[in-house]
A and B are shown apart, each in its own frame.
Chain A
Amino acid sequence: MEEHLYKEIYRYLGYRGMTPDEQTDALVAECLAQAREEMQPLSAVRRLDVRHTGEDRLLIGDMDIHSHGLARNMQGCEKAYLLAVTIGHGIDTLIRRAEVTSMMKAAVMQSVGAALVEELCDRVNEEIRIAAEKEGYHCKPRFSPGYGDLALDLQRDFERILNMRTNLGITLTDTLLMVPSKSVTAFVGLYRGAQECSSGGCSECNLYEDCTFRDEG
């Protein structure tokens, strides 16, 4: 678990298959400890019905969504979870503070925050998977607003349906950024039948070719 987390942190820092030096290792450990101290992980999920209403068009709950990417992702799904997670405001303050004294530390803190919120997201996703499998469903890889052609405007629906402000303390800026910055929203589609072979990893991503954070391991 911890090993995976470190691997992710280094991936966000831009190490591609290189071994970091002791100094960086120590700094990562220090930042991780501080971030964990300050972190206030919260999550919310809600299950809704999915209807395929046309080409590249879906109705999830009361959301009428046009998106090629999500429609493809949700192929064969009859239900979908909305999930939102955050690790809280503390990490943003830690990044700000680090920026005053050391950009290196700021960059490490940034990567630590990203890795921690992803870890939390994985955990919540896993809970969803376990619950879904008891009912005979399998899960699709999660899919977030703003990814591919899926409109970022959906953030407002997540905010409303999951009551993100009250339940998680996540607010949106006018430009639909989430505050705290280390927060994630996503759809997880549920389907019945044989499990599809899908790693959900980097190779599935439409940004695979150009991405500097691509998992090479």
Chain B
Amino acid sequence: MKQLTQRLGKEWLFCDGGSGTYLQEHGLAGGELPETWNLSRPDIIEKMNRSYYEAGADIVNTNTFGANVLKFGDKTDEIITAGVNIAKRARHAAGRDDDAYVALDIGPTGKLLEPMGDLSFDRAVEIFAQIVRAGAVAGADLVLIETMSDGYEAKAALLAAKENCTLPVIVTCVYDNNGRLLTGGTVETTVAMLEGLGADAVGVNCGVGPDMMVPIVERLVKCASVPVVVNPNAGLPQVADGKTVFNVGPEEFVHHMSVIARMGVQVCGGCCGTTPDHIRLLSDTVRELPFIPQTEKDICIVTSGSRGVVIGDRTVIIGERINPTGKKRFKQALRENDIPYILGEGLKQESQGAHILDVNVGLPEIDEPEMMERVVKALQEVTPLPLQIDTTDVKALERAMRIYNGKPMINSVNGKKEVIEQVMPLVAKYGGVLVSLALDEDGIPDNADDRIRIAKRIYEAAEHYGIPRRDIVIDGLCMTVSSDTSSALATLETVRRVRDELHGHSILGVSNISFGLPARELVNSTFLTMAMQNGLSCAIINPGNEPMMRAYYSTNALLNKDPQCMDFVGRYSEYVAFDKQGSTQTQAAGDKPQTGAAAGETATVADAVKRGFKAQAEELTRKALKTSPALEIIDRELIPALDEVGVGFEKGRVFLPQLLMSADAAKAAFEVIKTSMAGQEQQIKAKVILATVKGDIHDIGKNIVKVMMENYGYQVIDLGKDVPPEVIVDTAVKEDIKLVGLSALMTTTVVSMEETIKLLREKKPDCKVAVGGAVMTQEYADAIGADFYGKDAMATVRYADSLFC
């Protein structure tokens, strides 16, 4: 038999149709799991498979859609093996051993992945890996991953398939009318990620009927380089007599599918509600239409779970601030595991106009792979911006690429053989846009000729590893002009020639150009303009540096990259000319004053905190630091103000929103102090642990307590949500913690709270436990053996003070 890969994308192929309706007609009950019939009613499954082979389907799915260990436990392998064997028998009976294939069908796990849900990415990969291994051993010809409504889960399944068999893999997803997955991915971002991971074909199934799929198919064929698969439902589901039915018959179905087939798809079939009759008419009709193969697309796109950034059209801004180099406060955050600080840096750059965030967390004294994984996970939970993983630690790189939800940018490889051999296989496996430095074993060439020569070698190496040319971005290398005044010219020439001669993409860490000079932003912003004119694709800069952003927006307008100058006008319509500015700086659009600053003037830090004016609290603290020591500001302004608000809250005069507003303002003031003192020993009352217990994934209450505790001088080890008892107890023992705060939202998770307390009593008896959360009461707290029930955040602070002050 001809291998599927020899035919896929080269001739028409047809998938089978739905199975639910068929099985219900044959007696499948409401709550019954169809996969069990592989064991109990194999005759009917075989008949169904066979009728699809006979109808003309070239690819028939095994009855294993939901056959995973979560649903079937230790029966899983047996059900999958049976499913594959049944399909093979059906193919034989249909006389199609020579020209049709058995697809190991894999649907979603039914669980949502972290961080939104409670299934970890690694566990998801394991679950899919088991299915793939069982199916491959049983003799499936391909893996068909379908009905994926979460790109992250699709990644887990595809990775599992690629790691556990050598079969071709097709992945089809469910998109809504706007071409989005349930979890936010678009057609374009999903295709980019799946192609990067090595999918042999991609497509769409389920959700809607063929007519409504047209706009999605249009986008699919426009962005995909691999063959496109389209398997719609027989219309939208309707409920009749308590049963779900689909009303689009074979003629109507095929009428619309003929339109879709002409759009340039390569594989057609059906999903819910379609029958062997639908597929017969489909294959008879569409086989007669001209076959259009898929073409290679020259699109370089970096994606997150929900957003894609195209490289090549206009210069992309990559925010450089998540990087400890030369930043005391950032280093401190890394050492203290202060992830929220790092997230804050990310969100700030997003609001300032970054398109992609560079992520560098390398520090000699920390476990970089571990930190990289934590930071990437945390960032992709809060920002839609794609990330650029920036590390020289190959382990850290692989961990990040594995758990990344999308197609990342990788910083970086260079012309050195050893580095190429380490980095390129990872990019080939996981997919990514690869920053490639034009340097090699002989160092950094001082001229463009040699840099271009190295760039060419990097392209060749990429080709060798199967990394598409479009996914390479050449770093033209910025060297400071203060040591070699011709270096900027060499860099600019390199950038220009990457575009004109290599037809490739380029990137620069722009601010290096001015190292050692005064007034660096003058040089940097001018250089950015020059580089953009020479075709720079990506600029790694600090988007919070206004002169750089001015240069960026002005240059785009001048280079005809800003239609109607909309972006420029939007950002600078209220710009005040330099000679009229006086001492006040114009605020950029992305840097609006915080709520509160405009609401009235206050004179002291204490006033600002009491009234909850965040921006003013920051500003006044900065001013106060010029004349008073930090401790004095804390003792005389911040603490008394917080106390006043806190007492008001306890007495019922102040409500939670005001308490939180003050807390936010105080936190901002403390952050200013912390930055000014970064590197110095800081006084704390005690180190405490806060955690939302296992099984609970909502942690706003715990986070409120955290802000309050930190404001009152406690160092909080925040273990996050869904935390197993062992992790809490181990941390308490390791850090010698005397107070643990636990939060639980539901009665179902109070059990985990009780377990945690029991284990703490056993392993760390001198540690007190405070509990809180929506369902918690004093009686409940007593019953599970807690030392204290905190009815709100203030109460917990007071309890901690009673222990430590």
Contact = CB atoms under 8 A, between A and B. Distances in A.
Q: Do A and B bind each other?
A: yes
Interface of A: 13-15, 18, 20-24, 26-27, 30, 46, 62, 89-90, 92-93, 95-97, 99-108, 110, 146, 152, 160-161, 165-166, 169, 171, 173-177, 179-181, 210
Contacts of B596: 23
B364 interface: no
A26 B655 CA distance: 17
A177 B697 contact: yes
Q: Please name the 4 residue pairs, one residue from A and one from B, whose CB atoms are nearest each other, closest first.
A: A175-B695, A104-B660, A171-B112, A173-B118
A23 B183 CA distance: 33
B343 interface: yes
Contact of A89 (B184, B663, B700, B703): B184
B117 A22 contact: no
A60 B502 CA distance: 69
A15 B596 CA distance: 20
A152 B695 CA distance: 14
Interface string B609-640: 00010100000000000000000000000000
Given A15-B655, A62-B31, A165-B110, A110 B347 contact: no
Contacts of B147: 166
Contacts of A24: 657-658, 661
A177 B347 contact: no
Nearest to B708: A103
B664 interface: yes
A18 to B, nearest CB: 6
B547 interface: no
A179 B343 contact: no
A125 to B, nearest CB: 19
7 contacts: A20-B657, A24-B658, A26-B595, A95-B700, A96-B115, A96-B381, A103-B660
A107 B117 contact: no
A28 B112 CA distance: 30
Contacts of B704: 103, 106-107
Contacts of B658: 21, 24
B660 A175 contact: no
Given A103-B707, A166-B206, A179-B117, 6 more contacts: A21-B658, A102-B664, A103-B703, A104-B664, A177-B696, A179-B118
Given A15-B655, A103-B663, A175 B746 contact: yes
Interface string B92-120: 00000000000000001011100111100
B30 A62 contact: yes
A4 B700 CA distance: 25
A108 B659 CA distance: 13
B696 A175 contact: yes
Contact of A179 (B656, B697, B703, B748): B697
B378 to A, nearest CB: 9
Contacts of A90: 184
A152 B347 contact: no
Nearest to A90: B184
Nearest to A21: B658
Contacts of B777: 210
Contacts of B184: 89-90
Contacts, number: 126
B325 interface: no
B747 interface: yes
Given A13-B656, A100-B343, A106 B748 contact: no
B612 A23 contact: yes
Contact of B657 (A108, A169, A177): A108
Contacts of B383: 97
A107 B182 CA distance: 25
Contacts of A160: 31
A62 B31 CA distance: 9
Nearest to A12: B656
Nearest to A88: B182
A96 B114 CA distance: 13
A104 B661 contact: yes
A97 B346 CA distance: 11
Contacts of B684: none
Nearest to A152: B748
A25 to B, nearest CB: 10
Contacts of A13: 655-657
Contacts of B677: none
A104 B657 contact: yes
Nearest to B346: A100
Contacts of B112: 171, 179
B657 A101 contact: no
A174 B183 contact: no
Contacts of B115: 96
Contacts of A27: 595
A90 B110 CA distance: 20
B599 A22 contact: yes
B274 interface: no
B747 A152 contact: yes
A102 B382 contact: no
B727 to A, nearest CB: 17
A89 B31 contact: no
Contacts of A15: 655, 657
Contacts of A179: 112, 116-118, 697
A110 B700 contact: yes
A101 B347 contact: yes
A18 B648 CA distance: 14
Contacts of A93: 381-382
A177 B118 CA distance: 10
Nearest to A168: B182
Nearest to A181: B698
A87 to B, nearest CB: 13
A165 B147 CA distance: 11
A210 B112 CA distance: 34
Contacts of B698: 177, 181
Contact of A107 (B381, B382, B614, B700): B700
B377 to A, nearest CB: 12
B634 to A, nearest CB: 20
A192 to B, nearest CB: 21
A85 B660 CA distance: 30
Interface string B138-153: 0000000001010000
A23 B748 contact: no
A46 B30 CA distance: 14
B344 interface: yes
Contacts of A21: 658
A181 B118 CA distance: 12
B554 interface: no
A182 to B, nearest CB: 11
Contacts of B110: 165, 171
B664 A100 contact: no
Nearest to A106: B700
A202 B383 CA distance: 38
Given A95-B700, A102-B664, A174 B614 contact: no
Nearest to A156: B31
Contacts of A46: 239, 242
Nearest to B748: A175
Interface in B537-592: none
A18 B656 CA distance: 12
B249 interface: no
Interface string B340-370: 1001100100000000000000000000000
B294 interface: no
Name which of A90, A103, A108, A146 has the most chain B CB atoms within 10 A of its CB: A103
A93 B149 CA distance: 17
Count chain A CB atoms within 10 A of each CB in B183, B656, B749 and give the residue with the most.
B656
B307 to A, nearest CB: 12
Nearest to B109: A171
Contacts of A95: 700
Interface string B741-775: 00001111100000000000000000000000000
A89 B434 CA distance: 31
